[in-house]
């Protein structure tokens, strides 16, 4: 094999020829080195610009070969050696932070790895970590969609560059949402969030498999694969953090899970994992996280395996794999498999629901339905902070004109509901108490408010209440920031709309809309303070004692106790409110339907 400069250095390290090509950056375009005019002393960023990344890859290989990595890392650019790979990241001098984008945490989940638990990555050599990685395929997405791939098990790390590794900083782990059918937000820029935490926090975000890739449910998959593979991807990241986050200045004993929507639902799934023990039967270990924040926790139906065989069979028919079954599905190219990844209606329905995929009751990770596990105390007892938006359902609800259209919408989500049960849902949300809003038909608000409480608000209140009842600190909030545009569109304070205040700028969840930006400074600052304090101290108000100080907050946030106080975020500022008894009663109604709904 012909050796380039990187290959010669690799050979000097004793690396096999098969590894030499991996010393070239795998995704990024490389900036050419610039000529140095005259003699001058260069800052690290100027030296990077002067050398160009090709030379830096060679420099990293040289540093590894001569045991000089720590000196190069501190003097020139962020380099981290993970054993299976060495990654070169970006330095963000204005923020005094380092950014590593596209660190592979598992082998490509393609071909024979499809439907299996995530596998360890192979040796990768020196890799460029300066460009955002591909995002996992979504349901209904063309295979050639830019930036999407089946090979998507990557993570990003943001960390202060000025921290001393002995500091052992807390770690914010972001689990993106997307209804388990899309990776809606795995590549956020967390730089300003870390700045808001006084550069005393490390941030990790990642992609995980969704749709049929992560949640295909069948006895075929159980027998020759792994059920709930998307959750296993998330767990693989937590195990990766235990092994590697200290190399970025993070503390594996101070990990907090944070997620919106299905990401918040995933936080609940981790709290319930393996009967609340966090480890499979016959195994044990230290906790992989110590707290959780759920932003609009989506807790929908968790089907049992036999209830989803129709879905697997439908995929076999779509791909002409009825004979070879799971082996045939694994033999398909990513493009062929994705071509069959189309929306599907639940049995007996003609209209697709919000999501046909999600965690199933597999008897291992999820040993029963979520509400039953919560009611029986089978969950991890760690501090939690849970919140929701006033108009959670407005993003999902149909623009209904009649009660019949609302009823049909709920049957599309849960065909197991009887006509009598659907009628009782409508009775809980009379039109007089759910009046029409701008730009929508008469019964839109009925569908929106009913769906929002069923899927998001009531599960969040249940988790907060249960945790407090067993003496575990919990906090709850309602986000009710409504701007003129939200009134004009009729969306109100819609699902996860507070995320833009936390990250300053995020893609819109509404197709065709421009990116969302933090537009209420008083709320943006408050949310960042409360959330980063929780990650750092397991208390949104900051530490109760000690030398460390948290970010100042505008109002002390009490734990969620019997009087049910929750924090209220509005355009005018932050206050406290009591959960209305009418909402408590409606949530009790939804709890009575949990068995039918499979929650």
Whether residue 531 contacts residue 293, with contact meaning beta carbons closer than 8 Å, is answered with yes
SS3 146: coil
Phi, psi dihedrals of residue 596, rounded to the nearest 5°: -65, -40
Full DSSP string of 195-245:
HHTTT--EEEEE----HHHHH---HHHHHTS-TTHHHHHHHHHHHHHHHHG
- Summarised one tens digit per residue, pLDDT across range 439-456 is 999 999 999 999 999 999
**pLDDT at 544 (0 to 100):** 75
- Classify residue 85: in a domain, yes or no: no
**pLDDT for 338-360, tens place per residue?**
999 999 999 999 999 999 999 99
Residues 298 and 324 in one domain: yes
The tokens describing 291, both together, are 């707290």
Distance CA 330, CA 323 (A): 13
Q: Give the range among 66-75, 143-152, 545-554 with minimum mean pLDDT.
A: 66-75
pLDDT at residue 545, rounded to an integer:
62
Q: What is the pLDDT of residue 534?
A: 98
Distances 167 to 201, 250, 251 between C-alpha atoms, Å: 10, 8, 8
Contacts of 540 (CB under 8 A, 6+ apart): 385, 475, 529, 530, 531, 533, 534, 553, 557
Whole-number Å distance between alpha carbons of 336 and 3: 36
Task: Return the SS3 of 125.
Answer: strand
Share of the chain above pLDDT 90, in %: 82
Q: Does 185 score more than 90 pLDDT? A: no
Identify whether residues 307 and 401 lie together within a single domain.
no
Mean pLDDT of the 580-598 span:
97
Give me the torsion for CA of 421, 427, 433, 439, rounded to 10°: 60
- Are residues 106 and 127 part of one domain? yes
Last residue of a domain, one of 35, 51, 77: 77
Whether 78 contacts 157, CB under 8 Å: no
Same-domain pairing of 342 and 414? no
Q: List Cβ neighbours of 145 (8 Å cut-off, separation of 6 or more).
A: 137
Q: Within this chain, do residues 277 and 186 fall inside the same structural domain, yes or no?
A: yes
Mean pLDDT value of segment 294-315:
97
Percent of the chain as helix, strand, coil, to the nearest 5: 40, 15, 45
Query: Which residues, including other chains, have CB under 8 Å from residue 144's CB and lie 6 or more apart?
Result: 335
Query: Which residue, chain included where needed, has tokens 């290989």?
Result: 61
User: What would the pLDDT profile of 214-267 be if each residue is shown by its tens digit?
Assistant: 999 999 999 999 999 999 999 999 999 999 999 999 999 999 999 999 999 999
- The two beta strands, 135-136 and 148-149, are parallel
219 falls within a domain: yes
Q: Are residues 415 and 497 in the same domain?
A: yes
Do 323 and 450 fall within a single domain?
A: no
Boundary residue ending a domain (382, 406, 435): 382
pLDDT beyond 70 at 50: no
> How large is the average pLDDT for residues 139-167?
91
The b-or-e profile of 264-299 (16+ CB within 10 A means b, else e) is bbbbbbbbbbbbbbbeeeeeeeeebbbbbbbbbbbb
Mean confidence (pLDDT) of the chain: 89
Query: For residue 84, is it within any domain?
Result: no
- Tokens linked to 577: 């409110």
Is residue 387 in a domain?
no
**Sign (positive/negative) of CA torsion 159, 238, 338, 183?**
negative
Residue pointed to by tokens 């030499």: 20
> 403 and 363 share a domain?
no
Average pLDDT over residues 310-329: 97
Phi, psi of 159 (to 5 degrees): -150, 145
Is residue 82 one of the residues assigned to a domain?
no
Reported pTM: 0.89
- Placement of tokens 């990595």 in the chain: 69
C-alpha 396/C-alpha 588 separation (Å) is: 22
171 within 8 A of 144, measured Cβ to Cβ: no
**One domain for residues 137 and 276:** yes
| Residue range 13-17: mean pLDDT, rounded | 36
Task: Return the minimum-mean-pLDDT range out of 42-46, 164-168, 230-234, 595-599.
Answer: 42-46
> Taking 50 as the threshold, does the pLDDT of residue 37 lie above it?
no
The dihedral of CA 393, 175, 129, 147: what is its sign? negative
- What is the pLDDT at residue 507? 85
CA distance 476 to 52: 49
Q: How would you classify residue 52: left for phi > 0, otherwise alpha for psi between -120 and 50, otherwise beta?
A: left
Structural domain of residue 517, as residue ranges?
A: 392-597
pLDDT of residue 514: 86
Mean per-residue pLDDT, 18-39:
33
* DSSP labels, 533-574: HHHHHSSTT--SSSS------SS------TT-EEEEEETTEE
State residue 74's pLDDT score.
47
Per-residue pLDDT tens digits for 382-403: 999 999 999 999 999 999 999 9
* pLDDT of 132 strictly over 60: yes
Instruction: Label residue 53 by pLDDT band (50, 70, 90).
Output: very low
- Please check whether residues 330 and 423 belong to one and the same domain: no
Tokens at 123, concatenated = 């040796």
Place of tokens 């049929």: 212
**Predicted local distance difference test score (pLDDT) of residue 62:** 47
Tokens 């994705």 found at: 338
Query: Is the pLDDT at 38 greater than 50, yes or no?
Result: no
364: tokens are: 């291992």
pLDDT digits (tens, 9 = 90+) for 487-496: 999 999 999 9
Q: Check which CATH number belongs to the domain holding 515 and give it.
A: 3.40.50.1820
Distance separating alpha carbons of residues 395 and 179, to the nearest angstrom: 12
Name the helix (H) or strand (E) containing 309.
helix 309-318
Give the count of domains, the chain. 3
Q: What are phi and psi of 246, to 5 degrees?
A: -65, -25
Give the pLDDT confidence of 530-582 residue by residue, as tens digits: 999 999 999 999 997 655 678 999 999 999 986 779 999 999 999 999 999 99
Using the 3D structure, point to which of 48, 77, 106 is the last residue of a domain.
Answer: 77
Q: Average of pLDDT values for 83-87?
A: 97
pLDDT at 549: 79
Other C-beta atoms closer than 10 Å to the C-beta of 417 total 18
Question: pLDDT grade, residue 29 (50/70/90)?
Answer: very low
Q: Is 156 among the domain residues?
A: yes
Per the domain annotation, does 83 fall within a domain?
Answer: no
SS3 4: coil
Q: Do residues 370 and 399 both lie within one domain?
A: no
Q: How far apart are CA 95 and CA 416, in angstroms?
A: 52
- On whether both 174 and 294 belong to a single domain, the answer is yes
């Amino acid at each position: 094999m012909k050796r380039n400069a990187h290959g010669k250095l690799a050979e000097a390290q004793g690396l096999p020829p098969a590894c030499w090509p991996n010393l070239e950056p795998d995704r990024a375009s490389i900036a050419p080195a610039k000529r140095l005019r005259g003699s001058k002393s260069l800052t690290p960023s100027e030296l990077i610009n002067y050398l160009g990344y090709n030379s830096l890859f060679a420099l990293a290989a040289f540093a590894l070969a001569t045991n000089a990595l720590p000196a190069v890392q501190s003097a020139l650019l962020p380099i981290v050696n993970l054993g299976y790979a060495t990654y070169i990241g970006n330095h963000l001098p204005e923020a005094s932070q380092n950014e590593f984008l596209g660190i592979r945490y598992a082998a490509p989940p393609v071909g024979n790895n499809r439907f299996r638990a995530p596998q360890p990555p192979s040796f990768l050599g020196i890799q460029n970590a300066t460009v955002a990685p591909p995002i996992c395929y979504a349901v209904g997405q063309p295979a050639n969609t830019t930036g999407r791939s089946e090979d998507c098990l990557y993570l990003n790390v943001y960390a202060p560059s000025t921290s001393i590794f002995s500091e052992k900083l807390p770690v914010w782990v972001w689990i993106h949402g997307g209804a388990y059918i899309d990776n809606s937000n795995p590549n956020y820029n967390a730089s300003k969030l870390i700045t808001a935490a006084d550069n005393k926090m490390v941030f990790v975000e990642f992609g995980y498999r969704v749709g049929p890739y992560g949640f295909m449910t069948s006895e075929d998959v159980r027998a020759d694969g792994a059920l709930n593979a998307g959750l296993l991807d998330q767990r693989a990241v937590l195990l990766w953090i235990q092994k590697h986050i200290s190399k970025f200045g993070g503390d594996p004993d101070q990990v907090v899970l944070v997620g919106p929507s299905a990401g918040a639902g995933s936080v609940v799934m981790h709290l319930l994992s393996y009967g609340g023990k966090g480890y499979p039967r016959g195994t044990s270990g230290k906790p992989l996280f110590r707290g959780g924040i759920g932003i609009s926790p989506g807790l929908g139906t968790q089907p049992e395996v036999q209830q989803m065989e129709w879905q697997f069979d439908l995929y076999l028919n779509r791909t002409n794999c009825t004979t070879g079954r799971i082996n045939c599905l694994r033999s398909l190219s990513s493009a062929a498999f994705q071509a069959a990844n189309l929306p599907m209606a639940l049995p007996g329905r003609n209209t697709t629901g919000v999501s046909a995929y999600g965690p199933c009751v597999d008897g291992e990770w999820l040993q029963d339905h979520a509400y039953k596990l919560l009611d029986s105390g089978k969950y991890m007892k760690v501090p939690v902070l849970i919140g929701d938006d006033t108009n959670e359902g407005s993003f999902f609800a149909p623009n209904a004109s009649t009660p019949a259209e609302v009823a049909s919408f709920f049957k599309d989500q849960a065909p197991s509901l009887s006509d009598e049960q659907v009628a009782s849902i409508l009775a809980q949300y009379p039109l007089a108490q759910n009046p029409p809003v701008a730009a929508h038909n008469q019964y839109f608000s009925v569908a929106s408010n009913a769906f929002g409480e069923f899927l998001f608000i009531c599960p969040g209140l249940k988790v907060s209440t249960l945790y407090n009842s067993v003496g575990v600190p919990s906090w709850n909030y309602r986000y009710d920031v409504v701007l003129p545009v939200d009134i004009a569109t009729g969306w109100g304070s819609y699902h996860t709309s507070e995320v833009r205040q936390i990250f300053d700028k995020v893609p819109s969840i509404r197709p065709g809309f421009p990116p969302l930006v933090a537009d209420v400074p008083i709320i943006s600052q408050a949310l960042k303070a409360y959330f980063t304090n929780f990650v750092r101290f397991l208390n949104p108000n900051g530490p109760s004692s000690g030398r460390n100080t948290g970010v100042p907050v505008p109002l002390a946030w009490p734990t969620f106790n019997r009087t049910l106080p929750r924090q209220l975020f509005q355009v005018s500022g932050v206050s406290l409110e009591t959960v209305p008894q009418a909402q408590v009663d409606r949530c009790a109604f939804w709890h009575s339907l949990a068995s039918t709904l499979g929650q």
